[in-house]
Structure 1
Amino acid sequence: MTEPTSTKPGIAAAIVVQDHRVLMVQRRIAEGELSWQFPAGEIEAGESPEAAAVRETAEEVGLTVKATRLLGERVHPKTGRQMSYAACEVLSGTATVVDTEELAELAWVTHEQIAEFVPYGLFEPVQQYLDEVLAPEERD
């Protein structure tokens, strides 16, 4: 595994799927090309990536979620930050922009819309997971 280029804490992202859509948020300040992304934030000392993803989702969009599995980890090619991606299911709440300082808006994105929101493509394990859970039923 490649070493992170930064000594900053890792980032955990929550891949939240509900009603055949994935939750994406738009940051007020884009990180380079990254405008739309998953709810995410720094992993705190002693916190697992899954716990950080759950906490960040509550802080940013007000949803109570449960991490179901870690989809993968990598050094992000655009930010150089260590990233962890956790699949999450909604337990309660309605997604709204809670952290108005960080977020401009949110969207529930269909499988077909992902490329519009993330034109440079998703981390392969995340894309594979979304292909499985969001793809139309009639797929072979």
Structure 2
Amino acid sequence: MSDPTTDDRPPIAAAVIVNDGKVLMARRRVKEGQLSWQFPAGEVEPGETPNDGAIREAEEETGLTVRVTGELGWRVHPNTGRTMYYFACEVVSGTAYVGDAEELAEVAWCDRATLTEYVPYPFYEPVQQHLDANLR
């Protein structure tokens, strides 16, 4: 999978981790535009696929070992201008915690109602469809 933009910055890979009807969200210490609560995500490193980047970022930020179960799509994020790849993930092992205290303030498993409080606008449509189908 190649970077679909001409942006020189590495793309961002996001892990959309759903477990037992809830999705894992991470609150960043520094807001990116209006973004505070986000999926575990970060820059894809040189030589790494976006899929591998999502897995690595999930582990670094939350301590979870995850497996990608599907690609949800990519876009240029309207608030940050960064190329974003989204991956549906499931937990293989671990318990979620703040694994990178410099970047994250907290993590939370969110059901549908809580997610709407944390993120009061719709997600990228393929991600929203995945959440609608999998959250309680």
Q: Normalized against structure 1, the TM-score is what?
A: 0.91
Unaligned runs of 5+ in 2: none
Report the equivalent of 2:54: 53
Q: Once the 2 structures are TM-superposed, how far is the Cα of residue 120 of structure 1 from its aligned partner?
A: 2.7
Note if contact 1:4-1:80 (Cα within 8 Å) is conserved in structure 2.
no
Report the equivalent of 1:25: 26
Matched, 1:34 2:24: no
Q: Once the 2 structures are TM-superposed, how far is the Cα of residue 16 of structure 1 from its aligned partner?
A: 0.3
Q: Once the 2 structures are TM-superposed, how far is the Cα of residue 5 of structure 1 from its aligned partner?
A: 7.0
Q: Once the 2 structures are TM-superposed, how far is the Cα of residue 4 of structure 1 from its aligned partner?
A: 4.0
Give me the identity figure in percent: 59
For 1:1-140, list aligned pairs within 5 A: 4=5, 6-135=7-136
Q: Once the 2 structures are TM-superposed, how far is the Cα of residue 113 of structure 1 from its aligned partner?
A: 2.2
Q: CA RMSD in A?
A: 1.2
Q: Once the 2 structures are TM-superposed, how far is the Cα of residue 64 of structure 1 from its aligned partner?
A: 0.4
Q: Once the 2 structures are TM-superposed, how far is the Cα of residue 41 of structure 1 from its aligned partner?
A: 0.3
Identify which range, 103-112 or 76-85, moves more after superposition: 103-112
Identify which range, 105-114 or 77-86, moves more after superposition: 105-114
The runs of at least 4 aligned residues of structure 1 exceeding 3 Å deviation read 3-6
* DSSP-derived class of the 1:8 partner: coil
- Cα distance change on mapping 1:28 and 1:5 into 2, 3 Å: farther
* DSSP-derived class of the 2:66 partner: strand
* DSSP-derived class of the 1:107 partner: strand
> How many Å separate the matches in 1 of 2:125 and 2:51?
19
Note if contact 1:15-1:38 (Cα within 8 Å) is conserved in structure 2.
yes
Unaligned runs of 5+ in 1: 136-140
> How many Å separate the matches in 1 of 2:127 and 2:109?
16
Q: Normalized against structure 2, the TM-score is what?
A: 0.93
Q: Once the 2 structures are TM-superposed, how far is the Cα of residue 48 of structure 1 from its aligned partner?
A: 1.4
Aligned residue pairs: how many?
133
> How many Å separate the matches in 1 of 2:92 and 2:7?
34
> How many Å separate the matches in 2 of 1:106 and 1:73?
24
* DSSP-derived class of the 1:74 partner: strand
> How many Å separate the matches in 2 of 1:19 and 1:38?
17
Q: Once the 2 structures are TM-superposed, how far is the Cα of residue 56 of structure 1 from its aligned partner?
A: 0.2
